[in-house]
Amino acid sequence: MSRLSVVHFLRANAVVFSSVVQIGDSQEIRLSARALAVQRQLEYVDSREFPLTFPVFTKPIPLPPADDKDVCRYTLHDCPLIAVHSVRVIGISSTSVVHIGSTKTVEANSRVKHIRQLERREQHASSRRSD
């Protein structure tokens, strides 16, 4: 199944948060990322305020049922070469893969919790009146 991968030009501006750029064959790729995004109307930062114990981070991820039926497949590679002229990628993020080659197994997960803390309208209105 292995073939030679030839890439003439690859440009990726940003590869972040558990992501991979792979040229060539790989046996397995395993990616995992957890992110906590907090948006506030008023600036306040305390790294101890939000531990990563939200259910989205601790619940097991359900897997699809495995199909026990054998798959009959015939593949003919006329050329033992994977040839790519040019690849341009703006960004690869949050457990993503750009892969030129063969892989047996890919496993990826990404868990993101967004928290938005905004002022109540009554508080905002009352603070305006006192000005």
Task: For residue 116, give its domain range.
Answer: 4-61+77-129
Residue 71 lies in a domain: no
What is the pLDDT at residue 47? 67
The model's pTM: 0.66
What is the pLDDT at residue 64? 83
Phi and psi based region of residue 18 (left: phi greater than 0; alpha: psi -120 to 50; beta: remaining)? left
Residue 97 lies in a domain: yes
What is the pLDDT at residue 131? 43
5, two tokens: 């991968």
Alpha helices in the chain (DSSP H): 55-58, 121-129
Question: What is the arithmetic mean of pLDDT over 5-24?
Answer: 92
Report the run of H or E that residue 30 belongs to, with start and end.
Answer: strand 26-40
47-87 pLDDT tens trace: 677 766 788 888 998 888 888 888 888 877 788 889 999 99
Quote the number of domains for the chain: 1
7-16 pLDDT tens trace: 999 999 999 8
Residue 109 lies in a domain: yes
Residue 94 lies in a domain: yes
